[in-house]
Amino acid sequence: MAFHYPNGTPYNNHEAPKSKKQVKNQKSIQFGKRGMDFEEEINKSNAFYLSRNIAVVHKKPTPVQIVKVDYPSRSAAVIKEAYFRQASTTDYNGVYNGYYLDFEAKETKNKTSFPLKNFHQHQIDHIQQCLTQNGICFVLLWFSSLNRCFFFSGEELITHWSEQENTGKKSLPLSIIERKGIEIQIGIAPRVPYLDAVWQHIQSNKGVAFNDN
């Protein structure tokens, strides 16, 4: 099924458009020896947090407008084409320990850097708006080829996004992510314990207004 942004641009979730060969070669994200989808594991982690009254975090629903439907039989309908009614912001939001959380989950097969083209200006604008209200904003970066996951703050993302025009750098080097971010060790329950990194980020910024960039 084809999805499109409001301006008609085809939608690809999480990462920049891939060739058909790349899509075929990467049907799943590898967590160790298990084929797992990164977003699915975040959803399961959120369910774990919710069941234990640790946090209430959900994936944001995105309204779509259906424009083409096939009816192979009277009792079945297949959506063939749809458009997002509005540009998406970020993947998840919720509340944790009195803090508003808003974050995006992204993945890449690159081993040395994370392409900034995986993000869109409207997402950066949204993150900035949430930071202005002292929300906790971040991205979860999954390096599928390395089996490594990182928490990277919205403040840092905006800084490097804004520097693109001056530096010409179109990606975040892994070395910077290692230094400026927080690595998340993949576990069992929850599989992606990102709230540990969120709390570390909160503690390291105590007494500092989150919208002071």
- Binding-site residues for Mg(2+) sit at 89, 91, 104, 123
C-alpha dist (Å) from residue 213 to 153, 182, 207: 12, 19, 14
Residues 164, 117 contacting (CB under 8 angstroms)? no
Q: CA dihedral in degrees (19, 25, 30, 33; nearest 10)?
A: -170
Q: Which residues pair with 161 in a beta bridge?
A: none
Strand, coil or helix: 97: coil
Residues tagged in the binding site annotation: 89, 91, 104, 123
Strand, coil or helix: 21: helix
Amino acid, single-letter form, for residue 123: Q
The pair of structure tokens assigned to 182 is: 């927080």
Count of CB atoms situated within 10 Å of the CB of 42? 23
What's the CA gap between 53 and 94, in Å, rounded?
A: 13
User: Token match 């509005």: residue?
Assistant: 86
